[in-house]
Amino acid sequence: MQTDTMSMLQAIRVSAVDDAEPAGWTIDATGDWSVRPDQNASAGFQQERGVWLEVIGDQVYLAFPAATNESLRGVVEMLFQLPEDAIGAFEVWKRDDRDELSLAQGIYRNLDYIERITPYVRFPRRSGLPGEVWENRLAACVNNLGASPNFMRSAGARSAGLDFGLGLPFLKSEFELSSVLLMLGSYQAPLFSAVEVWLLDSEGTGLELKHRIAMEGADEIPSTLRLSEGLVGYVAAARFPKLMLVGEGSSQAWQVAFPQFVGNRLASVVCVTL
């Protein structure tokens, strides 16, 4: 995949269960991990099904699990380099005592207005992007945040230059939500080059593209895949995350794909391009 804009996603590390050795782990990494050389994120997610989000200097460290009700299938870690002029946000939303989603953690760059108002925002189930992700228990993307009826802070997004959002659900069990992760970014200085959300088709033998956000210059992709076809199909069949260098020549790019489960059922595969 060739893009005209460098993304702020600088490094990816994946720890995945090795089916040949169930007690072991396979680890793939790209980029500079010197800020977290000895991090063992997998140990922290054996029981926890939430999100790990931290600022390290001018970088944002993000880690989250891929897990069924019964077992941890892997952990995805990402490092984002945020320059001074970056526009972006990382938010973790959790259920409060009114059974609405309220902000548990937020990291913002050049989004003063949104940073100020967001602690007072609440999302009932089915309301806004976090509420949609909670209701459907599926990842979702929104383009053109400033004009989206499904983004309650659209006026602030429009004035700040936010363009797109990605929401990921993390479940304690089949019906109990742990948290929703939102990543909000700009096309001018994108968090990543592309993100795709794939769902199993009605027969369960293939995948259909549900959402895609891609920066200018990104290649076209098919709207359907067979199980085991390409990185996304491989992850759907194997049921653990995978990092891979895809494409040829100048079009090569690193991609990470990870499964999301509802209970023990594979619900979707999300694919992010560095």
CA angle 183/188/193 to nearest 5° reads: 60
Predicted local confidence at residue 65, as pLDDT: 94
Give the separation between CA 187 and CA 132, rounded to whole angstroms.
23
pLDDT higher than 50, residue 1: no
Cβ–Cβ contacts within 10 Å for residue 156, how many? Answer: 20
CA angle 201/176/46 to nearest 5° reads: 90
What digits encode the pLDDT tens for the residues 222-254?
A: 999 999 999 999 999 999 999 999 988 777 899
Tokens 């913002």 correspond to 108
pTM score > 0.75 for this model? yes
Eight-state DSSP code of residue 166: E
Predicted local confidence at residue 25, as pLDDT: 83
What digits encode the pLDDT tens for the residues 103-112?
A: 999 999 999 9
Q: Per-domain residue ranges for the chain?
A: 9-273
What digits encode the pLDDT tens for the residues 139-172?
A: 999 888 766 666 767 677 787 888 899 999 999 9
In a 13 Å sphere around the CA of 179, the CA atoms on its Cβ side amount to 19
What digits encode the pLDDT tens for the residues 257-269?
A: 999 999 999 999 9
